[in-house]
Amino acid sequence: MLIYLIYGPTCSGKTDLGIQIARETGWPVIALDRVQCCPQVATGSGRPLEAELQSTQRIYLDSRPLAEGVIETEAAHLQLISEVEDRKSSPGLILEGGSISLLNCMANSSYWNAGFRWQVSRLRLTTPDVFLSRARRRVAEMFAIRDERPSLLEELADLWNQNAVRPILEDIAGYRCAIRFAKEHNIAISELLHLDPLRQQALIAAIADEYLEYARWQERDFPDWREDDRSSGGFTLAACGEVNLVNQRDV
């Protein structure tokens, strides 16, 4: 089996690249994102809409209410292995995501050295100006109300009514920033749904800034695997080969 691994910081285009390769190969994408396993925060965690998937298959490692908490890293890793084992007869799989803990768990597991063929694409953090421009567009899209899904702020306002999930929300990028913004401006979480345009733009910019800090953290703590294709596009089977999936920082 060939595994195409795509990883990199938030807002770097991982999902778009995964969908592109899935369309070219017909292979499913397994999302390496623990927060996306909670459908109640689908918008804020960056789960793509069905239309955005363009008829490709995307597999999540769990589906659980947020009140149960974000899936633990070891449990997510075991489920990932199970998903791969179930598809061992397939010609290939795409693994895509940016969970630092899950990727490091993979890097430290001997399972991934068991004869798989690999192609690895790591998407890099761009300059702050480029990143923030892209992040602000993304957050603005998350704020938009769509028929298929609530906005990020609607998710937050609805979940905030459950006291048990508040600490979880305060630990997730985007929601954490919106909660802090409400406290700083002395407004209720529900009032975030009715911000005037200037305040909404200020909140969008603040969340984009938080994403940049998170992306810098990801860049610092990701495992550093050898890449087969350093470009952000163009799936080439000729570039694939045996890869020793070990964190090179530890070698």
Give 108-126 pLDDT, tens digit per residue: 999 998 889 999 999 999 9
Taking alpha carbons only, the member of 2, 4, 7, 6 closest to residue 215 is 7
The Cα 63–Cα 70 span in angstroms is: 10
User: What is the helix (H) or strand (E) element at residue 120, kind and residue range?
Assistant: strand 117-122
Q: Using the 8-state DSSP alphabet, how is residue 6 labeled?
A: E
Per-residue pLDDT, 114 = 81
Per-residue pLDDT, 14 = 97
Q: Is the pLDDT of residue 249 over 80?
A: no
Which residue blocks in the chain are alpha helix, DSSP H? Answer: 14-25, 42-45, 50-53, 73-86, 100-107, 128-143, 152-159, 166-169, 175-184, 197-221
Q: Around 150, how many Cα atoms within 13 Å sit in the side-chain half-sphere?
A: 14
How would you classify the pairing of strands 241-242 and 117-122?
A: antiparallel
Q: Is the pLDDT of residue 229 over 80?
A: no
Q: Is the pLDDT of residue 237 over 80?
A: no
Q: Around 113, how many Cα atoms within 13 Å sit in the side-chain half-sphere?
A: 9
Q: What average pLDDT score do residues 70-92 get? A: 96
Q: How many CB atoms lie within 10 A of CB 89?
A: 6
Q: Which residues of 117-143 are buried (b: 16+ CB within 10 A; e: fewer)?
A: bbbbbbbebbeeeebbebbbebbeebb
The Cα 2–Cα 242 span in angstroms is: 9
Q: Using the 8-state DSSP alphabet, how is residue 235 labeled?
A: -
Using alpha carbons, list the distances in angstroms from residue 214 to 59, 161, 188: 24, 27, 26
Candidate from 47-56, 57-66, 124-133, 219-228 with smallest mean pLDDT: 219-228
Candidate from 63-67, 68-72, 111-115, 245-249 with smallest mean pLDDT: 245-249
DSSP 13-30: SHHHHHHHHHHHH---EE
Q: What average pLDDT score do residues 142-154 get? A: 90
Q: Is the pLDDT of residue 228 over 70?
A: no
Burial of 233 (0-12, 13-18, 19+ CB in 10 A): exposed
Calculate what percentage of the chain has a pLDDT beyond 90: 85
Q: What average pLDDT score do residues 5-15 get? A: 96
Per-residue pLDDT, 30 = 98
Q: Is the pLDDT of residue 234 over 50?
A: no
The Cα 84–Cα 80 span in angstroms is: 6
Question: In whole numbers, what is the pLDDT of the chain averaged over residues?
Answer: 90
Per-residue pLDDT, 146 = 77
Q: Is the pLDDT of residue 128 over 90?
A: yes
Calculate what percentage of the chain has a pLDDT beyond 70: 90
Q: Is the pLDDT of residue 245 over 50?
A: no
What six digits make up the tokens of 236? 């080439």
Q: Is the pLDDT of residue 147 over 80?
A: no
Tell me: the pLDDT tens digits for 149-190? 999 999 999 999 999 999 999 999 999 999 999 999 999 999
- Is the pTM higher than 0.75? The answer reads yes
